[in-house]
Amino acid sequence: MISKAVDYCKADQLLICAYKAIQDKLKDPNYWSHVELEKLKKRAKEHYIEEQKTHCCYCNMHQNSKNHRIWDLEHIAPRAKYAHFMFEPKNLAAACPDCNTHKGDKEVLVNTRRRTYPTKSEDFKIVHPHYDKYTDHIKHRRFVYVPVTKKGKYTIYLCDLLRFTVDFIGASGSASDNSFEDEMDAAFNAEDNQDLADLALELIELQLKK
């Protein structure tokens, strides 16, 4: 869980003020790609990579590098839909590019007509890196993700966290096939890890068979 949101420096604040002065309906999500924002984005990304101790905010995987090329500065409420939250410090976090790509512009807010940034965990459909403790919502052991709450389940779905399990066992079919369970069983037996096998079983029951 992120305890400290990014603090913008004076130069960044000037840019943000100019953006905030634009009427909400005229705010352009593509402004994020403007060259004048490069330093702001670099500073914010650095902050969150450090703050999250090089763990992705959605899959919780640790990456052994702070290299900006393997991290995305992620808008939790997607900027394509919520351009007015573009610079909101609590709407930003560091994510791995795979989670970011899978999440895309999918909806995460309970109330999609919010004009001010939501301040509570229950305002979001996903595990919010600033408001939620990851382990309260998702049990994560190596390549297995088991939802503990509805939010956890939605996050697993939205960011396709099942991809780690599928990759690990090298499943040939889709996770909803009957053979998937057999392949997973075989993989865990080979690993001789009962704990993970139990977690995986929960995963299958809770997630795949619904």
| In the complex, least distance from residue 9 CB atom to Zn ion, rounded to whole angstroms | 28
Helix, strand, or coil (residue 33)? helix
Write each residue from 98 to 117 as x if it is in contact with Zn ion (CB under 5 A), else as -, in one continuous string: -x------------------
**CA 58, 120, 115, 40: dihedral to nearest 10 degrees?**
-50
**Type of residue at 201:** L
> Closest separation between CB of residue 27 and Zn ion, Å?
28
Select from 96, 162, 171, 175 the one that contacts Zn ion (CB under 5 A).
96
Taking CB under 5 A as the rule, does residue 138 contact Zn ion? no
Q: Which of residues 30-89 bind Zn ion (CB under 5 A)?
A: 56, 58-59
> Which range touches Zn ion (CB under 5 A), out of 8-16, 92-100, 137-145, 184-192?
92-100
The HSE-up count of residue 172 (CA atoms within 13 Å, CB side) is 3
21 secondary structure, DSSP code: T
d(CA 149, CA 30): 34
Minimum Å distance from CB 81 to Zn ion? Answer: 21
Q: Which two tokens mark 167?
A: 């990759």
Task: Give the integer Cα–Cα distance in Å for 116 and 81.
Answer: 14
If one asks whether residue 126 binds Zn ion (CB under 5 A), the answer comes out as no
Is residue 162 a contact point for Zn ion (CB under 5 A)?
no
Binding site for Zn ion (CB under 5 A): 56, 58-59, 96, 99
